Amino acid sequence: MRKNVGLVILLAVACAVTYLLNDRFLAPANIENLLRRTALFSLISIGVSFVIASGGIDLSIGSVVCLVGTLLPWLTVQFGWSWPVALTALLALAAALGLLHGILVTKLRLQPFIVTLCGLLLYRGIARGLTGDQTQGFGMEFEGLRSLVTSAYSLFGLLPFQIPSVALITLVVALLAGFVMAKTPFGLYLRAVGRNEVAARYSGVDTDRVKIWAYLACSLLAGFGGVLFILDVNSAQPSDFGNFYELYAIAAAVLGGCSLKGGESSIVGVIIGATLMQVLRNAIVLVDIPTQLEFAIIGGVILSGAAAEELIRRAAAARK
């Protein structure tokens, strides 16, 4: 909770500074776009928080987004698949990839870094090979399907801006994820495995099953995110679609209270962290900072936040 308060303060400062430098930050259109991007990245950040809580890591998220996102229009537009069939098949594929990651990590005892790094390379290569590295999109087709993501709601005129439908979708996912983490045995077991896997195993926890489910959930949400991303942008190039998304997701999760050592997770914190990341990206555009400095600025903020948290933790430990 204390970390979330500090993160909210940092977010408020970032918003205030951006607004002072460019008052278009609070324009309804900009807020709606910010909400949409935050919701999309929050979704994949929630997924990776499960893996991080178990003490693992998943570097393949961006490539899963690319694979599922580019194959959806590839199957529906070029091959005439109905969208329910294509969507079901691709989400099943994403879940299968997560299952594969979990099995390789738990049964073959491979390092999560190696397994998911190979996935990062492999899945993007498959997407580029199957599509011939050509841009994939829906064109003017499937407008009804795309409206599920591109539509927005005014909430009876109570707000000066509209709420994107994808934000409501992510809210539902976040509530479910929060319930699973806080109120179910799986969430308890997941944190126990992250804190001390050996102790959890001797306590009767099926640690392998818990970790497999964590990787499956992560890849499934990455695949679902890929569907929403492609429906939002309409077209994508396999060579760069989803690039660095895994880093944004991991950074949001870590900023939001997920320890890379495992055992800690906060869905609310993850969403706040994802919001901060998108506010920083938005600020770079609005303040006319060269986009070449985007990663340097975001990396500096993340490093500062992590260093500040460590100093606060040490100070609190010293007082005790």
DSSP letters of 104-118? HHHTS---HHHHHHH
Q: Which residue has the higher pLDDT, 285 or 295?
A: 285
Domain-embedded: residue 70:
yes
Q: Is the pLDDT of residue 314 over 70?
A: yes
Domain-embedded: residue 144:
no
Least confidently predicted of 203-217, 225-239, 258-272, 288-302: 288-302
Domain-embedded: residue 317:
no
Domain-embedded: residue 216:
yes
Domain-embedded: residue 10:
no
* pLDDT at residue 291, as a whole number: 75
Domain-embedded: residue 83:
yes
Q: Provide the pLDDT confidence category of residue 9 given band limits of 50, 70 and 90.
A: confident
Q: Is the pLDDT of residue 2 over 80?
A: no
Domain-embedded: residue 15:
no
Mean pLDDT of the chain: 90
With H, G, I as helix, E, B as strand and everything else as coil, classify residue 200. helix
Domain-embedded: residue 158:
no
**pTM as predicted:** 0.93
The secondary structure of 241-294 as a DSSP string is TTTTHHHHHHHHHHHTT--TTSS---HHHHHHHHHHHHHHHHHHHHTT--GGGH
Domain that holds residue 229: 34-137+164-288
How many domains does the chain contain in total? Answer: 1
